[in-house]
C-alpha cells in the first residue's frame, strides 16, 4: 500500500484538507446534543421563547456550516482519489507495457487486465472512503465520549466500558466472517468451474451421456456453497442484535446513573438527554467504521496485488545510448565484409522457473536473403529460437547477433524495427485494415500497403470487403476468418520492409495452395528479406536454403532438404510421417504432372 501512495503526491493539499473538513463537520455534529440540552434546561425550564428560537437558529447554522465543510471534504476526497487512480492507472499501464515476454508469461495477461481495471477501481474507492471517513468515525466515537466526560465523569465511565465492548463485538464478528467469505468465494469458484466446464465440454459430455452425473456434481457443489453462505450469514446476523443490546443496555445504565446524579442535583434533565443522544451517535458511527474497514481491507488486498505487479521488473536491460553509437560503426564494417544477417553463437535459453534449458547451444549463421526453415516437434524450441532474434527473451548463455552486433547492444526499438514478426496467433486490432497495416510502418504509402497485401495473398479478399482497406475490424478481428487474419498479419509485417521476416507457423490456417503462393511471392520480392519460416509442415520448409531441425531444444540437423533426408533421423521421421515413404516422391511427381 505504502509504495502506491506516491500517486497521491500531487494531491497533498486535498489529502490533508479532506479529512480535516470532515472532522470539522463532525465537531459541529457533536455540538448538536449540547444545544438540545440548552433548549431543555434553559429554554423550556425558563419558558424563554426567544432563547429557544435563538438556539434553533444556532442548530441550523451548525447544520449549514457542517454541510459546507462536508461538501468541501467530499470534493477534495473525490479529487484526490480520482487523481490518485488516474496516476496509478497510467503508471501501471506504462509499467505493464515495459514488461518483457518473460514477465508476461509468468503473470498472465488476464490477471494483469484485472489489476488494471477492477483492482484499481477498488483502491480508488478505498482511498476515497479513507479520506472521508477514517478520521471522522473514530473522531465521533471518541468525541462523543469526551463530550460525555465534559457533562459528567461518572456517567462517561459507562461510555468507557461500552465503546471497547462494542468494538470487540463489531470487529470480532468481522474478523470471524472475513475468512469465511473467502470460503464462500471458493465455493462460488467451484460452481463457476463446473458450469464453464459443462459449456466448453458439452459435446464430449453429451457424447458420453454424462449429463445426469454432471448435474449431480453441480447440485452437490451448489449445496455446499449454500451451506457455507448460511453459516456465514448466521454469524453476521448476530451483529445487529448484539450491538443493539449493548447500546440499549448502556442507555439503561445511563438513565439509572443519570437518575441518581439528577436526584442529587449534579446533573440536569437536559444533560441526561444529551448523554443518551451521544450514545446513539456512537452506534451509527461504529457500524459505518466496520463497513469502512471491510472496504479498506479489500482495497488493501488489491493494493498489495498492484504492488506485486510494480515489483516485476523487465528482465531486458537496455544498453546506454553512448556505447551503442561506437559499436554501431564497428558492427557495420563487420556486416559488410561477411554479410551475415543473423548469427547464433552457442545460444541457450532457460525460461524463468523452468528447470531445463529450452534451447541449448544453438549455433547458426544466416546470410542476407536466405530462407531458413525451422522444423521440429511441439516444445522443441522453434518459437523460442526465433523469439531470440527480436530479443523477446534474452539468451541465458551464448549470444545472438543481428548485423554483426549483439542484440543486447541495440536499443530495443531499433532492433525490432529491422524485423517483421508474424506470430503464431494471428492478432489484429480494432480499427480499419489500413490502421492495422500501418502498425508495420506509420509512413507507408498507399502503394506500399497494396504491395504488402499483394505479397501476403490478401489483396483479393481485402478488395472484396466493403470499403477495402477501410473495412473496420471488430475486436479480435472476429469478422475475418482465421486464414484472412493470418494473411493480414503477414502483410502488416511486410509493410515495414523488414530486413528479417519471421513467420512463426503463421500459415497454419492457409490451405496448401495459398501457403505455397505466399512463399513464392516473398521469394520474388526485390531486395527480399531474410526469411525464417517455422512450420510443422515439411512441405512449407522443404525448399529453404537451410533447414534447422530442432529436437528437445538442440539442433538435430542443419542443412538442405536432400542432405537432411539422408543424414538426419529426426527429419526423416517428420518428413515420412507426412509423405509416406514408398510413394511419397512418386506421388509428388505425379501430382506435378497433373498441375
Partner 1 sequence: MDKKQMRSRQKTTIKKVLHYIRKYWFYLFLSLLLAVVTVASTLYIPVLTGYAVDDIVAKGRVDFASLFQILKSMAVVIALTALAQWIMNVCNNKITYYVVRDIREEAFRKIEILPLKYVDAHQTGEIVSRVIADADQFSDGLLMGFTQFFTGVVTILGTLLFMLSIHVGITLVVVVVTPLSLFVAAFIAKKTFTMFKLQSETRGEQTALIDEMIGNQKVVQAFSQEEKVMERFDEINRRLQTCSLRAIFFSSITNPATRFVNGLVYTGVGIVGAFTAMRGGISVGQLACFLSYANQYTKPFNEISGVVTELQNALACAARLFELIEEEPQIPEPENAVALKEVKGHVELNQVGFSYVPDKKLIEDLSLDVAPGQRVAIVGPTGCGKTTVINLLMRFYDVDTGSIRVEGQDIRDVTRKSLRENYGMVLQETWLKAGTIRENIIMGKPDATDEEIREAAMATHAHSFIKRLPDGYDTYIGEDGGSLSQGQKQLLCITRVMLCLPPMLILDEATSSIDTRTELKIQEAFARLMKGKTSFIVAHRLSTIREADMILVMKDGKIIEQGNHESLLAKGGFYAKLYQSQFVHS
Q: Which of residues 60-119 bind partner 1 (CB under 8 A)?
A: 60, 62-64, 66-67, 70-71, 74-75, 77-79, 81-83, 85-86, 89-90, 93-94, 96-101, 104, 109-110, 112-113, 116-117
The residue among 132 and 497 lying less far from partner 1, judged by its C-beta, is: 132
Q: Minimum Å distance from CB 320 to partner 1?
A: 19
The residue among 101 and 142 lying less far from partner 1, judged by its C-beta, is: 101
Establish if 354 lies at the interface with partner 1 (CB under 8 A): no
Q: Minimum Å distance from CB 112 to partner 1?
A: 5
Site for partner 1 in 444-503 (CB under 8 A): 475-476, 481-483, 492, 496
Residues 8, 10, 16, 21, Cα dihedral to 10°: -100
* Segment interacting with partner 1, rule: CB under 8 A, options 142-150, 225-233, 343-351, 447-455: 225-233
Query: By three-state DSSP, how is residue 153 classified?
Result: helix
- Cβ count near 159 (within 10 Å): 23
Q: Minimum Å distance from CB 419 to partner 1?
A: 8
What one-character-per-residue DSSP string does 513-575 give? HHHHHHHHHHHTSTTPPEEEEE-S-HHHHTT-SEEEEEETTEEEEEE-HHHHHHH-HHHHHHH
Q: Minimum Å distance from CB 280 to partner 1?
A: 7
Site for partner 1 in 6-25 (CB under 8 A): 25
Establish if 427 lies at the interface with partner 1 (CB under 8 A): yes
Q: Provide the H-helix boundaries in 201-238.
A: 202-207, 211-236
Q: Rounded to whole angstroms, how far apart are CA atoms 457 and 451?
A: 10
Q: Minimum Å distance from CB 299 to partner 1?
A: 15
Site for partner 1 in 499-558 (CB under 8 A): 505, 508-509, 511-513, 515-516, 519-520, 523, 535-537, 539, 542-543
Buried b (16+ CB within 10 A) or exposed e, 130-151: bbbbbbbbebbbebbbebbeeb
Establish if 377 lies at the interface with partner 1 (CB under 8 A): yes
Query: By three-state DSSP, how is residue 405 classified?
Result: strand
Size of the site for partner 1 (CB under 8 A): 169
Among 11, 19, 24, 43, binds partner 1 (CB under 8 A): 43
Q: Minimum Å distance from CB 116 to partner 1?
A: 5
Length of the chain: 595
Query: What does the per-residue mask of binding to partner 1 show for 382-401, with x meaning CB under 8 A?
Result: --------x-x---------
Q: Hey, CA dihedral for 400, 401, 405, 411, is it positive or negative?
A: negative
Question: Which residues lie closer than 8 Å to 458 by C-beta, 6 or more apart?
Answer: 484, 487, 488, 490, 491
Q: Minimum Å distance from CB 513 to partner 1?
A: 3
Contact (CB, 8 A) for 350 and 546: no
Q: Minimum Å distance from CB 571 to partner 1?
A: 10
Site for partner 1 in 268-307 (CB under 8 A): 268-270, 272-273, 276-277, 280
**Residue 365 forms beta bridges with which residues?**
343
* Segment interacting with partner 1, rule: CB under 8 A, options 149-157, 237-245, 347-355, 359-367: 237-245
Q: What backbone torsions phi and psi does residue 108 show, to the nearest 5 degrees?
A: 85, 130
Amino acid at each position: 500500500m505504502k509504495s502506491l501512495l506516491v500517486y497521491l503526491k500531487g494531491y497533498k493539499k486535498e489529502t490533508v484538507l479532506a479529512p480535516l473538513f470532515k472532522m470539522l463537520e463532525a465537531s459541529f455534529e457533536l455540538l448538536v446534543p449540547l444545544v438540545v440540552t440548552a433548549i431543555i434546561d434553559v429554554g423550556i425550564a425558563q419558558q424563554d421563547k426567544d432563547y429557544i428560537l435563538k438556539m434553533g437558529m444556532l442548530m441550523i447554522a451548525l447544520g449549514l456550516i457542517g454541510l459546507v465543510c462536508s461538501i468541501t471534504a467530499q470534493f477534495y476526497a473525490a479529487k484526490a482519489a480520482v487523481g490518485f487512480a488516474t496516476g496509478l492507472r497510467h503508471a501501471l499501464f506504462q509499467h505493464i507495457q515495459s514488461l518483457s515476454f518473460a514477465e508476461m508469461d509468468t503473470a498472465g495477461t488476464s490477471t494483469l487486465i484485472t489489476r488494471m481495471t477492477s483492482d484499481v477501481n477498488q483502491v480508488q474507492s478505498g482511498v476515497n472512503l479513507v479520506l472521508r471517513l477514517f478520521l471522522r468515525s473514530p473522531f465521533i466515537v471518541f468525541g462523543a465520549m469526551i463530550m460525555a466526560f465534559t457533562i459528567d465523569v461518572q456517567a462517561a465511565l459507562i461510555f468507557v466500558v461500552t465503546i471497547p465492548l462494542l468494538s470487540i463485538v463489531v470487529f470480532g464478528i468481522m474478523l470471524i466472517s472475513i475468512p469465511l467469505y473467502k470460503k464462500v468465494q471458493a465455493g462460488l469458484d467451484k460452481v463457476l468451474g463446473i458450469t464453464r466446464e459443462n459449456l466448453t465440454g458439452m459435446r464430449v459430455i453429451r457424447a458420453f451421456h454424462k449429463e445426469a452425473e454432471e448435474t449431480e456434481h453441480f447440485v452437490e457443489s451448489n449445496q455446499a456453497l449454500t451451506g457455507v453462505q448460511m453459516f456465514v450469514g448466521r454469524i453476521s446476523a448476530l451483529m445487529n442484535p448484539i450491538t443493539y443490546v449493548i447500546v440499549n443496555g448502556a442507555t439503561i445504565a445511563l438513565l439509572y446513573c443519570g437518575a441518581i446524579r439528577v436526584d442529587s442535583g449534579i446533573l440536569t434533565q437536559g444533560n441526561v438527554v444529551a448523554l443518551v443522544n451521544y450514545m446513539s451517535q456512537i452506534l451509527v458511527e461504529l457500524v459505518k467504521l466496520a463497513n469502512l474497514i471491510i472496504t479498506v481491507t479489500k482495497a488493501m488486498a488489491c493494493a498489495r496485488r498492484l504492488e506485486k505487479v510494480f515489483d516485476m521488473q523487465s528482465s531486458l536491460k537496455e544498453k546506454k545510448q553512448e556505447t551503442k553509437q561506437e559499436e554501431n560503426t564497428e558492427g557495420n564494417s563487420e556486416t559488410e565484409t561477411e554479410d551475415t544477417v543473423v548469427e547464433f553463437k552457442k545460444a541457450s535459453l532457460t525460461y524463468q522457473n523452468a528447470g531445463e534449458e529450452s534451447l541449448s547451444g544453438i549455433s547458426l549463421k544466416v546470410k542476407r536473403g536466405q530462407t531458413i526453415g525451422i522444423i521440429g516437434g511441439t516444445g522443441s524450441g522453434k518459437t523460442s529460437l526465433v523469439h531470440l532474434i527480436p530479443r523477446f527473451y534474452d539468451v541465458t548463455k551464448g549470444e545472438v547477433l543481428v548485423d554483426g552486433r549483439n542484440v543486447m547492444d541495440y536499443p530495443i526499438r531499433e532492433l525490432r524495427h529491422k524485423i517483421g514478426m508474424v506470430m503464431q496467433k494471428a492478432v489484429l486490432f480494432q480499427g480499419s485494415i489500413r490502421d492495422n497495416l500501418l502498425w508495420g510502418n506509420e509512413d507507408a504509402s498507399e502503394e506500399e500497403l497494396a504491395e504488402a497485401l499483394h505479397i501476403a495473398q490478401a489483396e483479393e479478399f481485402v478488395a472484396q470487403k466493403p470499403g477495402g482497406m477501410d473495412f473496420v475490424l471488430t475486436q479480435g478481428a472476429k469478422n475475418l476468418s482465421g486464414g484472412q487474419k493470418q494473411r493480414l498479419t503477414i502483410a502488416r509485417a511486410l509493410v515495414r520492409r523488414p530486413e528479417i521476416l519471421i513467420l512463426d507457423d503463421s500459415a497454419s490456417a492457409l490451405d496448401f495452395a495459398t501457403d505455397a503462393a505466399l512463399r513464392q511471392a516473398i521469394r520474388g520480392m526485390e531486395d527480399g528479406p531474410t526469411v525464417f519460416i517455422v512450420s510443422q509442415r515439411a512441405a512449407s520448409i522443404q525448399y529453404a536454403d537451410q533447414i534447422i531441425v530442432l529436437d528437445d531444444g538442440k539442433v538435430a540437423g542443419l542443412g538442405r532438404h536432400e542432405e537432411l533426408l539422408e543424414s538426419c533421423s529426426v527429419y526423416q521421421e517428420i518428413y515420412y510421417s507426412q509423405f509416406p515413404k514408398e510413394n511419397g516422391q512418386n506421388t509428388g511427381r505425379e501430382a506435378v504432372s497433373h498441375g
